[in-house]
Amino acid sequence: MPVHSCLTKVKYWENFKQNQLDFAELSRIYGQEEALEIIKLFLGVTGTFTECIDLALTSKDIDAVNHFAYSIKGPFSSLQLTALSDLASKLPKLAAKHKWKDAKKVYGQLLELYKPIKSQMEEEIQKSTSTRTEFSNFATRRRVSKAPESSLS
C-alpha cells in the first residue's frame, strides 16, 4: 500500500476520533453526489432508529432494543463512526440484563455523540443545495443572455 494511501487512512481515522465525518474523503471515495445520498439516507435511517430505540427502552422491550440497536449499529459502522457503533452495541447487552437505567444512560450518550455529526451532515447537505441553486441560477441566466433575438423586432 502506498505511503500516501496510508496517510490518508490515518487522517480519516483521526477525524472520526474527533467525532467528525470526513466528507471530503467520503466524496473522494464515492463521488460528491453519491456521498450526499449516503448521508441523506444515513440521517433518515438514524433519525427513525434512534426514536425507535427510545420507545423500546421506555417500554422495556428487549426484542425491540436488540432490533433497533443493531439496525443503527450498521450505518454507524459503515461510516467508521466506531464510538457510536460501540454505544449502540452496548444497548442490547444492557437490555438483556434488564439494566434499563444504564441502557437509558448509554442511549443518552449515543444521542449526545450523534448531535454534532448530524449537524455536520446537515450542513454538508445545505452547502450542496446552495451550490446547486447558485449553479442552476447561473446556467439559467447564461441561457437567457444567449437566447437569439426575435426576428419580429
Residue recorded with cell 449526545: 112
User: pLDDT at residue 79 above 80?
Assistant: yes
**Helix 82-96 to helix 32-58 angle, to the nearest 10 degrees?**
20
Task: With CA atoms as reference, report the closest residue to 44 among 134, 132, 121.
Answer: 121
Question: pLDDT averaged over the chain?
Answer: 82
88-113: per-residue pLDDT in tens? 999 999 999 999 999 999 999 999 99
Q: What is the pLDDT of residue 130?
A: 74
Q: What is the pLDDT of residue 78?
A: 84
Q: What is the pLDDT of residue 77?
A: 86
The DSSP output letter for 147 is S
The highest-confidence range among 39-43, 74-78, 141-145, by mean pLDDT, is 39-43
Q: What is the pLDDT of residue 80?
A: 82
Interval 73-80 mean pLDDT: 88
Q: How far apart are CA 143 and CA 153, in angstroms?
A: 20
Q: What is the pLDDT of residue 21?
A: 77
Residue 82: CB atoms within 10 Å: 13
Instruction: Write the burial class of residue 62 (CB in 10 Å: 0-12 exposed, 13-18 middle, 19+ buried).
Output: middle
Q: What is the pLDDT of residue 119?
A: 92
CB 50 within 8 A of CB 73: no
User: pLDDT at residue 151 above 70?
Assistant: no
Q: What is the pLDDT of residue 12?
A: 47
pTM for the model stands at 0.71
